[in-house]
Structure 1
């Protein structure tokens, strides 16, 4: 898995984010409740991380997500009506 030029994220992160966005869009069109979609995606992500990553790396991903919440990044997205960025 190659990193981007700054070394921050895998180069295929954008593609994975696009595929995830399409899956979310599809589930919304099917009438699946947003909390069910989010819970399923989070559970799947945690399962994948558990199979592929060490606990320390998982904790770093979760800390990064928590910092985004604490810094108000998600509130800003809500105000702008924007899609959330893919996790890094």
Structure 2
């Protein structure tokens, strides 16, 4: 697993993201509430980080996520999602 040119993301991040997106899509099709899906994914991610990363690295990941929320990046994603027609 190698890092991108900026040394930030592993090369398999896109693959992991695609698999996660498919799992989310499946759970939505099964009628699982979005908050339950998000809570389960977050809990799983935190558990994985706890088993594989140092606390300082986990804190950096969480700070980055918080900065995305505070900068409005997630709001932009929400607006882009609303502008896209539903998949059939």
TM-score, normalised to structure 2's length?
0.90
Give runs of ≥4 in structure 1 deviating > 4 Å.
none
TM-score, normalised to structure 1's length?
0.90
The whole-number CA distance in structure 1 between the counterparts of 2:46 and 2:8 is 20
CA drift of 1:8 comes to 1.5
Task: Tell me the equivalent position of 1:41.
Answer: 41
Q: For structure 2, which runs of at least 5 residues remain unmatched after alignment?
A: 83-88
Task: Tell me the equivalent position of 1:8.
Answer: 8
Higher relative contact order (CA 8 A, sep 6+): 1
Q: For structure 1, which runs of at least 5 residues remain unmatched after alignment?
A: 83-88
Aligned-pair Cα RMSD in Å: 1.0
CA drift of 1:66 comes to 0.1
